[in-house]
Amino acid sequence: MQPEQDRPAVGIAPNNPVFDLPVIVGIEQGLFAKAGLDVRFSASYADREKDNVQTPFMSRLKENLFDRGSADSYNVCEWASIDRLERGKRGGNIAALRAAVAAQAILTFDDKLQVPRDMADVPVMVQELTGSHYTTIQMLESAVGSEHVKIQNGGLPQMRYAALKDGTARAIAVMEPFISLGLKDGAHIIAASFYRGGEVISADLTLEQRKAYYDAENEAVDLINADFYKYAHHVTAHAKRNCCGRSCATSTSIITT
């Protein structure tokens, strides 16, 4: 193993923990270090939670860190990975599919809303131009027609869940651990969709560094798949930080290579 000072540094801009879990485990288990890389997050999850519904999407933490050169990579839904590179100033590449394959679900407490056809002209709270936004359109437009899909911008998933709880939103689209938390609190699922993401990466990283990074990340995926509940606390912590100290259900997200 290379001495730490000799390892190329790779900064990761944080996304939601359910999507970052392979990176978290790779750092925690020393897999990136074994591959000769100094991989670390360029900011904390607490920093990320300062984003709000008014934050322009290219000024959100992960996009901003990458675009100004303070991070070398971040993951985002595959539609957004194309969009952000087109809109950004720095340039880069979509180097791989995101290691975490997760689901978005439309949740509600409203018994009048049971299936996608009930959602005609009913606003669904999402985070604009992210997976929650794109998958909501995907889940609903074939059932109600694109003109009857109504989107309400609501920021980060914990903000959307709080809006559902206080009645500000009638329906929301969220990923784990907020799907499990919602079911535990008595909400029900109207529709759900698994979807892929992309890995946006700096063009400054060499092909050898990229290969070492993704080989180590895939090793982390193998560890997660072998014993998911050993690492699930990293995901459930996202809800625990944002649900007034109440115990939250364990995430059921699927991780794959």
Asked if the domains 4-100+196-255 and 102-195 are classified in one and the same CATH topology, the answer is yes
pLDDT digits (tens, 9 = 90+) for 14-27: 999 999 999 999 99
- With tokens 């944002």, the residue in question is 242
- With tokens 């944080």, the residue in question is 14
Q: Give the pLDDT of residue 238.
A: 78
Rounded to the nearest integer, the mean pLDDT of the chain is: 91
CA distance from start to end of the chain: 25
Q: Could you tell me which residues come within 8 angstroms of residue 59 by beta carbon, excluding any fewer than 6 positions away?
A: none
DSSP letter at 33 equals H
Both tokens of residue 171?
A: 């329906």
pLDDT digits (tens, 9 = 90+) for 95-140: 999 999 889 999 999 999 999 999 999 999 999 999 999 999 999 9
- Residue bearing the bigger pLDDT, 239 or 137: 137
CB 232 within 8 A of CB 250: yes
Tell whether the model's pLDDT for residue 253 goes beyond 50. Answer: no
Domain ranges of the chain: 4-100+196-255, 102-195
Band of pLDDT at residue 254, cut at 50, 70 and 90: very low
Q: pLDDT over 90 for what percent of the chain? A: 81
The rounded distance, in Å, linking the Cα atoms of 61 and 224 is: 26
Dmax (CA) for the chain in angstroms is 61
Task: Reduce the DSSP state of residue 27 to 3 states and report it.
Answer: helix
Q: Give the pLDDT of residue 52.
A: 84
Q: Give the pLDDT of residue 239.
A: 77
CB 224 within 8 A of CB 257: no
Q: Give the pLDDT of residue 1.
A: 63
Cα 205 from chain centroid (whole Å): 23
Instruction: Tell which CATH architecture fits domain 4-100+196-255.
Output: 3-Layer(aba) Sandwich (3.40)
Tell whether the model's pLDDT for residue 249 goes beyond 50. Answer: no
**Counts of helices then strands in the chain (DSSP H, E):** 11, 11
Homologous superfamily of 102-195 in CATH? Answer: Periplasmic binding protein-like II (3.40.190.10)
Strand order of the β-sheet with 9-12 is 38-41, 9-12, 73-77, 197-201, 93-97
Kindly report the pTM of this predicted structure: 0.87
